[in-house]
Amino acid sequence: MSSSSSPKYTAAAWVLLALLPVLLTGCWSRVEINDRAFVIAMFVDLTENNQIEVTLGFPEPNKISSQSGTASTGDKPPYVTITEKGINLSDAVQNMQSNLSRQIFWGQIKVIVIGAELAKQGIRPLLDFVSRNPILPLKTFVLTTSGKAKDLANFPTHVEKFPSEVFRELANRQTILDTSIRNLMMAQDYSKAGITAIVDPGRGTENGIPIRTDGAALYKDNKLAGTLSKPDMRGAMWLMNRMEEAIITLHSPTDALPVSIHIQRTRTDVKPTLEQGWPVYKVQVQFVSIVNASDSDINLKDSKQIHALETVAADQIKQRIRKAFDKSRQLKADVFQLASYLEWYYPDQWNQFKPEWDQIYSEKVKLDIEIKPTIYTTGALKNHPRESR
C-alpha cells in the first residue's frame, strides 16, 4: 500500500468510529413503555348532535398484583375508562390524547364495541380509522350493542381483570360470533355485508350489571340492517364453521321430553356449484357429541333410538342454518361471504354476477344442507331413573 493512500484510509476509519455511537442509540422514534397508555378496549357511539363519542379502556398497572396476576386489594378495579367526543373518530381520539400524559398505544387492543346509533348510520368511518392505523391488530374482535357502547365499558367483572377480557373469552370460546376487524375488512371486497355478535347490559344483579349475549347484528353496505335471535345466531355460526362446543337440548323422539347433547367437535364444508346457471351451495356439517342429560325414557343403548335422536338433532341444526340464511336473503346482505367461495371456484361466473350480486343472492342463491351427526352415550344409564321407581 502506498503512503499516499494512508491518509484516506485513516480519515475513513475516523468517520466510521464517529458513526458507531449513532448505531448504538436504537430507534430514534421509540417511546418508552412507561410513556404509553395501552388501549385494551374501545367503545364507539354516535351522539345526538352527530358527534363521535369514543370511550377507551386502559389497564392501571399499579393496581395489578405482579405476583398473583389479579387485582390488588381495594374497591377500585385495575382499569380506567376515558371518554371524549369529536367530529370524527380521529378527532375524538386526538382530543383525548391532548389530555393524557402518556401516548395512546393500540397494539394491545382486544375488542371494539359499536353502539346502536353508530351502527345504523354506518361503520365505514370506523373501518377507515382502523385501516389507517397499522399498529391496531386485525384480529381485534368487533361486537355490536343494542344501546350505547359506553354502557358496557364499566360493567363489574368477578373472574376476569378487565371487561375486555370477558368479551375476548366469549369470542375465543366461540360462545358468540368471533367477528374480527379482518373479517369486516375482507367483506369490503364483496357486498360490504358483515355479521357481529350483539352484547347488551344484563338486567341487573346484586353485584352490578353483567352482560348478556343477545344474538347477532347483520350489516349491509356497512350499516346495521337487521338482527338474528340467539338460536339463529347459532345457525349462522354453524354455516360459517365457527361452532366448536355447544349444548343443544332436543325433544326426544320417544316421548318429546328434553335430551341435552354436548357438541364436542364440528366441521362445516361449503362448496358452490352451478345449477341452471345459478349458484347452489353444498353445505355439509359434521359433528360429534355425547348425551349430556336426559329426562326422557329413550333407550340410549338402542342404536335405532340413537339414530332417531341424531335425526332430531340434524333437523334442528338445519332449521337454524336455514333461518339465518333466509334472514340474510331478505336483507339482500351476503353476511356469510358466500361470494368468496364463488370467486374461488368459478371466477368467470363471479365476474358476471358481481355487479348484481345483492339481487342474485336474494333471489337465486340456494343452500343444499346435509347434516352428519354422531351421538355417543358415554356414561349413560341403561334406564331412566323414573323407570325404577
pLDDT tens-digit readout, 105-136: 999 999 999 999 999 999 999 999 999 999 99
Residue 204 confidence (pLDDT) = 54
Task: Decide if pLDDT at 40 tops 80.
Answer: yes
- Distances in whole angstroms, Cα of residue 352 to Cα of each of 293, 329, 342: 51, 20, 11
What's the pLDDT score for residue 89? 95
Q: What is the pTM of this model?
A: 0.84
Identity at 329, one-letter amino acid code: R
- Which part of the chain has CATH 3.30.300.210? 242-389
Predicted confidence at residue 25, as pLDDT, reads: 56
On average, the pLDDT of the chain sits at 86
- Determine the length of the chain: 389
Tell me which of 3.30.450.40, 3.40.50.300, 3.30.530.20, 3.30.300.210 is the CATH number of domain 242-389: 3.30.300.210
Per-residue confidence (pLDDT) for residue 389, from 0 to 100: 37
With bands split at pLDDT 50, 70 and 90, how would you rate the model's confidence at 101? Answer: confident
Grid cell at residue 226:
337487521
- Which pLDDT tens digit goes with each residue over 164-210? 677 777 777 777 899 999 999 999 988 899 999 999 887 654 444 56
**pLDDT value for 68:** 46
For the residues 89-116, what does the mean pLDDT come to? 93
| 117 Cβ contact list (under 8 Å, min separation 6) | 45, 46, 148
Q: Which amino acid is at 24?
A: L
Residue 271, SS3? strand
Cβ 236 vs Cβ 258: under 8 Å: no
Closest to 312 measured CA to CA, from 372, 247, 252, 353: 252
Q: How far apart are the first and last CA of the chain?
A: 109
Alpha-carbon distance of 114 to 133, in angstroms, equals 18
- Structure confidence by residue, pLDDT tens digits, 139-167: 999 999 999 999 988 766 666 666 667 77
C-alpha cell at 280: 347452489
Please report which helix (H) or strand (E) contains residue 303, including its range.
helix 303-330
Give the tens place of pLDDT for each residue, 294-316: 999 999 899 999 999 999 999 99
| DSSP, res 35 | G
What percent of the chain is predicted at pLDDT more than 70?
A: 80
* Strand ordering across the sheet containing 278-294: 246-251, 258-275, 278-294, 366-376
pLDDT of residue 150: 93
pLDDT at residue 329, rounded to an integer: 97
Q: For residue 335, how many C-alpha atoms fall within 13 Å in the half-sphere facing its CB? A: 33
Which pLDDT value is given to residue 55? 96
